[in-house]
Amino acid sequence: SVMEAHSRFGDDATQMVFDAIQQVKHKGYSQFTIERDDVCLDVQLNVIKYRDNAFAGVLLMARDITEHKKNELRLLQSFLSRMRLPY
**Percent residues over pLDDT 70 in the chain:** 85
23-54 as b/e, with b when 16 or more CB fall inside 10 Å?
A: ebeeeeebeeebeeeeebbebebebeeeeeee
| Beta strands, E only, 1-87 | 29-36, 39-49, 55-64
- Look up the pTM and report it: 0.66
**Overall average pLDDT of the 33-55 stretch:** 90
Write out pLDDT tens, residues 9-40: 667 777 877 788 788 878 888 898 988 888 89
Q: Are 42 and 68 a contacting pair, CB within 8 Å?
A: no
SS3 (DSSP) at 76: helix
State residue 71's pLDDT score.
94
Determine the pLDDT at residue 70: 94
